[in-house]
């Protein structure tokens, strides 16, 4: 009887091999530290909103002044993110994260003085120190995880933000209610200092960093055909000069990614500054109940962050990457949040109001890790830090003016409810435009071929 060979098994697309210096345990340790870094980062952002009601009462300030204090956080946020991003190729990411976290601890201390100028000064310093945090910690992670395996680490990094808010809301509210609102700022200062000590001991730059790739390129010959500047006839070789920064920033994928981030951070700016206040003053929740609601929103955000980017990663590993996996996912997330925000002023039942709050301030978070993933796909590693800095600086601009604008609209309206309705509808319109353009513009496969990205 003839024996016929079995047909070859169908396998998924080959994975990127690990470099010789790759240390899987160290990579996941770095990921854990970055998640903790982001948890502290977002606890720092949320503490002012959680303390807003007793703070405004004690200092006798109106909502516009509180909005100005909240917006001051972002005055230097985008600028520092841009500057550090442009200089990041020269510095160790380990050192950058260490310095940032140390400054976070110092920036919480002006709250002890409890005056408007002192609070503004503290938020200015905190914003300057946190501006590069998301992009540079993501840059750190991408030095440890290869292309095709970055979706889940990216989601966990941003998930640290959601987890930070989920944990910080009840814990910091306990400090505020039982020990006074200043105690929450002191607790965060101590937490940041403790993170610095651990990071100093375990932090390290990874084998996929730009410096490691430059060293590898100097030690090994290029894989493409000499003189062509192409690899497999499609992309520049590792030793070919990277495209100019302006060309990278004007590509459709990067522009679309910036807009998805802009829409997402618009919602984030509203929620971090005003959601606890809105829940207490408009939905009549107590401070403790409002903190639970904020936590629930963050948990929903975390669940979305752990599921959607993981599905995108899975599609890529099975050779089904593309617009649907990248642009449509993040654009749709911003659109869904905007739609829920537009409906919120017209909801009358408490259950419907809380459900819309959850969707409006959770769904948009999916866009944050994905916009880094799509940007990294089209940008060579040597340009990744600077481009991340520019993307972060422009994508987070809403934080500079949205908290103040929201407070101004609430103070200037016939009633607080009307002011919040106007602010929410304006936010929804901006998010709708950002989400729609992102869905149309993001084409990572096309732009990676043109720009020599990692794909």
Cα-to-chain-centroid distance, residue 66: 24
| Rounded average pLDDT over 320-339 | 78
pLDDT for the residue numbered 14:
45
User: What pLDDT band is residue 149 in, cutting at 50, 70 and 90?
Assistant: low
Q: Which residue in this structure is represented by tokens 């599905």?
A: 311
Mean per-residue pLDDT, 108-128? 92
Give the three-class secondary structure for 34.
helix
More confidently predicted of 114 and 263: 263
In terms of Cβ atoms closer than 10 Å to its own Cβ (0-12, 13-18, 19+), residue 115 is: exposed
- Tens-digit pLDDT profile for residues 358-407: 999 999 988 887 877 788 778 777 777 778 778 877 888 888 889 889 98
192-231 confidence digits (pLDDT tens): 999 999 999 888 777 766 555 555 555 544 444 333 344 3
pLDDT value at position 148?
Answer: 64
**pLDDT category, 242, cuts 50, 70, 90?**
low
For residue 74, the tally of other CB atoms under 10 A from its CB is 27
- Helix, coil or strand: residue 235: strand
Judged against a pLDDT cut of 90, whether residue 140 lies above it is answered with no
- Average pLDDT along the chain: 81
Mean pLDDT of 282-307: 88
Q: How far apart are CA 122 and CA 55, in angstroms?
A: 15
| Distance of alpha carbon 296 from alpha carbon 293, whole angstroms | 5
Residue 244 in this model has a pLDDT that exceeds 90: no
Q: Which residue has the tokens 């890790």?
A: 369
DSSP state of 322: S
CA distance 220 to 223: 9
pLDDT at 4 over 60: no
Spatial contact of 448 and 235, defined as CB atoms under 8 Å apart: yes
């Amino acid at each position: 009887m003839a024996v016929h060979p079995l047909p070859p098994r169908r396998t998924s697309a080959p994975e990127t091999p690990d470099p010789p210096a790759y240390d899987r345990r160290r990579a996941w340790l770095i990921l854990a530290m970055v998640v903790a870094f982001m948890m502290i980062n977002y606890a720092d952002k949320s503490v002012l909103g959680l303390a807003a009601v007793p703070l405004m009462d004690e200092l006798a300030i109106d909502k516009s002044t509180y909005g100005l204090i909240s917006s001051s956080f972002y005055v230097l946020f985008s600028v520092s993110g841009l500057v550090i991003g442009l200089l990041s190729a020269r510095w160790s990411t380990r050192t950058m994260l260490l310095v940032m976290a140390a400054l976070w601890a110092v920036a919480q201390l002006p709250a002890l003085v409890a005056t408007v100028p002192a609070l503004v000064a503290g938020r200015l310093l905190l914003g300057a120190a946190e501006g590069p945090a998301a992009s540079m910690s993501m840059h750190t992670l991408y030095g440890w995880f290869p292309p095709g395996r970055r979706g889940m680490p990216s989601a966990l990094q941003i998930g640290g933000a959601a987890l930070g808010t989920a944990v910080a809301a009840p814990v910091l509210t306990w400090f505020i209610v039982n020990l006074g609102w200043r105690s929450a700022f002191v607790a965060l200062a101590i937490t940041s200092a403790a993170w610095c000590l651990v990071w100093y001991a375990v932090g390290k730059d990874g084998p996929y960093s730009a410096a490691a790739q430059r060293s590898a390129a100097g030690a090994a010959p290029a894989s493409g055909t000499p003189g062509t500047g192409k690899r497999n006839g499609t992309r520049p070789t590792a030793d070919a000069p990277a495209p100019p920064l302006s060309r990278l920033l004007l590509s459709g994928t990067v522009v679309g990614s910036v807009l998805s981030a802009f829409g997402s951070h618009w919602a984030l700016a509203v929620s971090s500054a005003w959601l606890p206040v809105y829940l207490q003053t408009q939905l009549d929740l107590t401070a403790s109940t409002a903190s639970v609601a904020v936590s629930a929103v963050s948990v929903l955000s975390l669940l979305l962050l752990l599921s959607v980017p993981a599905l995108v990663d899975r599609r890529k590993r099975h050779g089904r990457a593309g617009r649907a996996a990248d642009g449509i996912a993040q654009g749709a997330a911003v659109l869904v949040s905007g739609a829920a925000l537009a409906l919120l002023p017209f909801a009358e039942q408490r259950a419907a109001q809380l459900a819309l709050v959850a969707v409006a301030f959770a769904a948009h978070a999916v866009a944050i890790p994905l916009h880094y993933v799509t940007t990294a796909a089209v940008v060579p590693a040597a340009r990744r830090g600077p481009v991340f800095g520019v993307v972060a600086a422009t994508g987070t601009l809403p934080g500079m003016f949205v908290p103040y604008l929201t407070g101004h609209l609430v103070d200037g309206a016939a009633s607080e409810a009307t002011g919040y309705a106007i602010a929410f509808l304006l936010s929804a319109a901006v998010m709708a435009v950002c989400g729609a353009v992102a869905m149309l513009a993001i084409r990572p496969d096309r732009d990676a071929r043109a720009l020599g990205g990692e794909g």
